[in-house]
Amino acid sequence: MLVNKNIEIISKNSFHWINPLQDTDIFPKFMFKENNLEYFANQKEELFIVEDNFDKEFETNALRKELIFVIGVYSLKEIKELCRKKNKGSVLIIIEPNPTFFSHTLANKQMDILDRDDVYLFVGSELSNISEYLQGLLLNLKITGLVKNITFYLTAYYRKYDLELTKKCIQLIRQSTRTTVISLGNDIVDNLQGFKQNLENLPYMFDSIDPANIKGRNRDKPAFIISAGPSLNKNINLLKKVKSKGLIIAVDTIVERLLMEGIVPDFVCTVERIDKVYEYFYKDKTIPKEVTLVAPPVIDSRILKEFKGKFMLPLREGVSEYTWFGKLLEASEAQYIFMGLSCAHVAFGLAQHMECSPIVLVGQDLAYGNDNDQTHASGTSYDSVEIDKKKNSFLDDTTEGYFGGSVKSTHMWLAFKNWFEKQINQDNLFVINATEGGAKINYTVQMPLENVISEYCKDIKFNIIDYGKYDLDKNNVIGKLVKEKDYFRAVREIAMKMFSILENVEISKNAVNKSKNKLIEHLNEIDKLKHEIIIHPLLMHNFQSTLIKSMWDENNMEQIYSYDHLVRMKNLNLKFLAPLIVGLSEMEDYIEKTIGNLENLKVKK
């Protein structure tokens, strides 16, 4: 049967996302076929014809690699024509927001166009799933390298009958691709600064609480994640009722305000490594000893040096840099925590790590306050900081509000929101959004904070946390660092040799083909070096922005081997190799200094 053949084709690619039909997925509804024309009905029971004709006004550049989002899977002739016209390096991602079209196509058309490695399919009427789907798919470097060359193709039905739904899909796609660009990390200098700070804090790991000791320690106990959104002003006083009846996990921004209100959190969470975090939230601040600090090892070392209470430095789940650190420390899975992009994500990941339930979000606005100007609750260090709203206005966006309608947000806040939604959905977590304002966070139950407290904050006995430290062998860590330093030196020497050879390659205007062959020969060697970076977790983390920017630049060029094109190819690869060489040299220096620090470290038993 045709449907079985199509299912077999779709099943070959694990990156397709097909949501099953829901009871509400009824329209557009197939009615009948007449004279090779197929008739569907909408919710008003009006009949219309769905055509399969390529849009003659659409232009794709066959000389440039693109990421083409196709809205609609019904029109397979259009999609096949698009595949024929596109560059062979371009990728198609088909988004079908009407599952009934997919169901009809599955049963009645040959879907062999999906039997390729450059075509991906998403089907689902729950549009929020588009963001989650793309977050995973865009981690594929082949696709990530094309996100600067995005174009949209609307199949016949969507360009004729449903532009509103199409606009919603495009908005979500744009937001998701922005999130991907943000998540790629900063430039090489910033990444190396993070690597340096991780190494500087390595001696503190010997005094850190072992995250494995708190894994699952408060299963099915409520945890309240307190953020500093504007809505917190109206319900912060209620948190006094939570103490001893629920865990209070606060972000660094709001701790000072909580203490002013007489609320002592159980944990304070930090994620950013910049100087201002120390200066705003920890310097000269009196944080009670009973508060435990939770942060990745990348934070400003002054925080750890001056913090009065206990601290825990878990590794960041899903971050390649910490995959490398994990191997260095011989860490177990239980020593990793999901941390996302913000300190609220760290707090959420901590609650998830302890298997708390429900996880209650408070002050998690992810949007401006009612005056479309306020960014934080009062009583924080941000009260004294002037924020240039006009300067940042180009970063503004809108999203669905907690109470419906539309609220003003930013690209960054929406990236935070997408992270929450992905985490909640994929792990089927019970999360209550008691923010009572700001943006709606999908997959959460919305409930006033007062009701949450009365229903879930009973007389609960929380498990005593085991504050045992990491079990680390100093000499073993030093030995591994020595081997890594030697490896990075070897890679640097290879890169230096390639740079010297490529720099001396002569490109002649009169012998373009000869120049092309010689250049391509050397570029193939550089591709091998790039592959070495991709498979090494620390190199990929530190140099991914350089690597991906190089891919963006190359993919933005039309593939015509003219003299100018060859010169630009040469320069782009020299531009890639130069910071790689400098960066590897700095990594060697950082490791050498860390080895010295560890050799002088007296480990407390």
Q: Which residues face 38 on adjacent strands?
A: 33, 50
Per the structure block, which two tokens stand in for 552?
């963006």
Per the structure block, which two tokens stand in for 404?
């419906």
Q: How far apart are CA 347 and CA 356, in angstroms?
A: 12
Lowest pLDDT segment from 204-218, 316-330, 361-375: 361-375
Question: What is the tens place of the pLDDT at every residue in 530-573?
Answer: 999 999 999 999 998 889 988 999 898 888 888 888 889 899 99
Residue scoring higher pLDDT (351 or 180):
351
Q: Which residues face 121 on adjacent strands?
A: 94
Q: How far apart are CA 226 and CA 223, in angstroms?
A: 10
Q: Which residues face 316 on adjacent strands?
A: 337
Cα 534 → chain centroid:
18
For residue 288, give the DSSP letter: -
Question: What is the tens place of the pLDDT at every residue in 224-268?
Answer: 999 999 999 999 999 999 988 899 999 999 999 999 999 999 999
Highest average pLDDT, of 281-285, 361-365, 367-371, comes from 361-365
Strands 406-410 and 431-433: unpaired
How is 158-194 classified by DSSP, letter by letter?
Answer: HHHT-HHHHHHHHHHHHHHHHHHHHHT---HHHHHHH
Question: What is the tens place of the pLDDT at every residue in 34-66?
Answer: 999 999 999 999 999 999 999 999 988 899 999
For residue 209, give the DSSP letter: B
Residue 40: CB atoms within 10 Å: 22
Helices and strands (H, E) in the chain, number of each type: 20, 20
122: closest CA among 177, 172, 71? 71
> Is the entire prediction scored with pTM above 0.85?
no
Say if residues 554 and 569 touch (Cβ distance below 8 Å). yes
Question: What is the tens place of the pLDDT at every residue in 484-525?
Answer: 999 999 999 999 999 999 999 888 888 888 888 888 888 888
Lowest pLDDT segment from 7-16, 85-94, 171-180, 292-301: 171-180
